[in-house]
């Protein structure tokens, strides 16, 4: 504890705010458990959903409040009021928000509730790639507004950090790189399976929503089908785009090739039964779907976008294609379908990269240092176990 810091009569309290319960489970579960094991009262606020009960069963306090996905002014105001009342009642020392809408309403609510330290992690900006025009300018203005309520802004990839500085979103001294990682031990190496007589399994783990760009992946699947390639495409995840994706599959005759698996709790087991990982997002922070597939020893095919291209090394751990290039995506997938040795080589390299650079234990340690810095600047002490860890 730094000189002059106040000690609390109870545990240090941190509240994470995120939109979906599935995102809370995927992005927050392991590090919240790690901090709780060190004496931090780390809690989660998210919308109600199927992962709330499992998270609570692990001993994580989860409060459910309606957090909209869009920009409906009435819903945003309602969410802001609910978050403000909750934070006033819980009285956290630090609030950590995630994703775009929770990031805006959560940070404003935290400041209005008098929370001492407010941290936000960027999981990809709404402005990205070649975006231009009024919506591009509006997105930057909203991020600048959010930064006014932020003590520390965390970026998962270097390109987002450059964007923050380019557009003057927040002062450099309040900007940090955090990265991303996974619990590697959860993803055993996918066992090589006999090739004869079976399709090559391509697995995409992503919410079926516009930003994940499943239409491009289905267009590539249609090309592979027309070329009579032996493959199955497994789509893991739910979301508002599921009906449209099913409709496209029916229109393009992909019923025998595409399987909709919905939300799954056994992603490591599914990856063990897969041959190739895929992701066609418009933008990412650092995509856990890529990290998980690579940790399982799969080569990865993805769009060349912010975040993803910091994980997937073209020609080494996988193949990258341009946004909108369905034929290029099909060609990349076809190359791996036809070459089991290349799949094996790229998969092994991907596993090495994830082990060396994307271990969640290091991300948790980095986050602890950031929390300690923010809290001690406000004269708030940290638990002895946490202080010892981050001082090591």
3-state secondary structure of 307: coil
Q: Are residues 226 and 80 in the same domain?
A: no
Q: Are residues 154 and 113 in the same domain?
A: yes
| pLDDT at residue 131, rounded to an integer | 56
Q: Are residues 56 and 164 in the same domain?
A: yes
Instruction: Identify whether 5 is part of a domain.
Output: no
Instruction: Identify whether 170 is part of a domain.
Output: yes
Residue 217: closest CA among 292, 279, 276, 260: 279
Distance (Å, whole) CA 66 – CA 379: 33
Q: Are residues 121 and 256 in the same domain?
A: no
> pTM above 0.85?
yes
Q: Are residues 273 and 172 in the same domain?
A: no
Distance (Å, whole) CA 153 – CA 173: 10
Give the structural domain span for 102. 13-181+359-391
Torsion angles phi and psi, residue 342, rounded to 5: -65, -40
Q: Are residues 157 and 221 in the same domain?
A: no
Residue 125: closest CA among 152, 162, 78: 162
Q: Token digits for 199?
A: 């399709």
* Ranges of residues in the chain whose predicted pLDDT is under 50: 1-7, 9, 390-392
User: Residue 149 half-sphere exposure, CB side, CA atoms within 13 Å?
Assistant: 23
Using the Cα atoms of residue 295, residue 296, residue 300 and residue 306 in order, give the sign of their dihedral.
negative
Tell me which residue has tokens 């919410």.
207
**β-sheet bridge partners, residue 277:** 203, 300
For 167-222, how does the pLDDT look when each residue is reduced to its tens digit (9 = 90+)? 999 999 999 999 999 999 999 887 666 666 789 999 999 999 999 999 999 999 99
| pLDDT at residue 114, rounded to an integer | 97
Q: What is the CATH number of the domain that holds 221?
A: 3.40.50.2000
Q: Are residues 98 and 218 in the same domain?
A: no
Q: Are residues 90 and 118 in the same domain?
A: yes
Torsion angles phi and psi, residue 232, rounded to 5: -125, 140
Q: Are residues 111 and 173 in the same domain?
A: yes
| pLDDT at residue 392, rounded to an integer | 38
List, as one string, the DSSP characters of 182-211: B-GGGSPPPPP---TTSPEEEEEES-SSGG
Under 8 Å CB-to-CB from 335, ≥6 apart: which residues?
A: 319, 342
Domain count, the chain: 2
Under 8 Å CB-to-CB from 311, ≥6 apart: which residues?
A: 286, 287, 290, 291, 294, 300, 317, 353, 358
Q: Are residues 212 and 298 in the same domain?
A: yes
Note whether 94 and 121 are within 8 A (CB): no
| pLDDT at residue 194, rounded to an integer | 60
| pLDDT at residue 3, rounded to an integer | 37
Q: Are residues 290 and 168 in the same domain?
A: no
Q: Are residues 23 and 154 in the same domain?
A: yes
Instruction: Identify whether 7 is part of a domain.
Output: no
Instruction: Identify whether 4 is part of a domain.
Output: no
């Amino acid at each position: 504890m730094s000189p002059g810091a106040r000690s609390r009569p109870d545990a240090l309290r941190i509240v994470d705010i995120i939109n979906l319960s599935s995102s809370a489970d995927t992005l927050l579960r392991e590090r919240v458990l790690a901090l709780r094991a060190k004496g931090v009262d780390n809690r989660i606020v998210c919308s109600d959903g199927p992962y709330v009960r499992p998270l609570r069963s692990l001993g994580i306090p989860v409060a459910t409040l309606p957090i909209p996905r869009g920009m409906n002014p009435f819903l945003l105001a309602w969410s802001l009021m609910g978050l403000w009342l909750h934070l006033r009642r819980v009285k956290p020392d630090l609030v950590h928000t995630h994703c775009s809408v929770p990031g805006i309403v959560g940070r404003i609510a935290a400041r209005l509730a008098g929370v001492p330290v407010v941290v936000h992690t960027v999981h990809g900006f709404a402005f990205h790639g070649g975006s231009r025009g009024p919506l591009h300018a509006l997105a930057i203005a909203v991020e600048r507004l959010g930064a006014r309520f932020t003590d520390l802004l965390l970026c998962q990839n270097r390109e987002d950090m450059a964007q923050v500085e380019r557009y003057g979103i927040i002062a450099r001294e309040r900007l940090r790189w955090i990265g991303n990682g996974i619990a590697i031990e959860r993803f055993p190496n996918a066992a090589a399976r006999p090739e004869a007589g079976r399709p090559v399994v391509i697995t995409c783990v992503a919410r079926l929503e516009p930003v994940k760009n499943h239409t491009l992946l289905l267009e590539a699947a249609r090309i592979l089908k027309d070329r009579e390639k032996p493959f199955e495409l497994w789509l893991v995840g739910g979301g508002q785009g599921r009906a449209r994706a099913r409709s496209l599959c029916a229109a393009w005759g992909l019923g025998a090739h595409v399987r909709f698996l919905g939300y799954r709790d056994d992603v490591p087991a599914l990856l063990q039964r897969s041959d190739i990982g895929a992701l066609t997002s418009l933008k990412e922070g650092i995509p856990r779907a890529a990290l998980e597939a690579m940790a399982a020893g799969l080569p990865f095919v993805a769009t060349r976008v912010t975040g993803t291209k910091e994980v997937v090394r073209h020609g080494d751990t996988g193949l990258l294609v341009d946004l909108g290039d369905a034929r290029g995506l099909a060609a990349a997938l076809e190359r791996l379908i036809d070459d089991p040795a290349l799949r094996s080589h790229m998969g092994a390299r991907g596993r090495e990269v994830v082990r060396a650079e994307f271990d969640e234990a290091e991300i948790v340690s980095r986050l602890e240092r950031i929390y300690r810095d923010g809290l001690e600047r406000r004269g708030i002490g940290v638990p002895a176990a946490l202080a010892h860890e981050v001082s090591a």
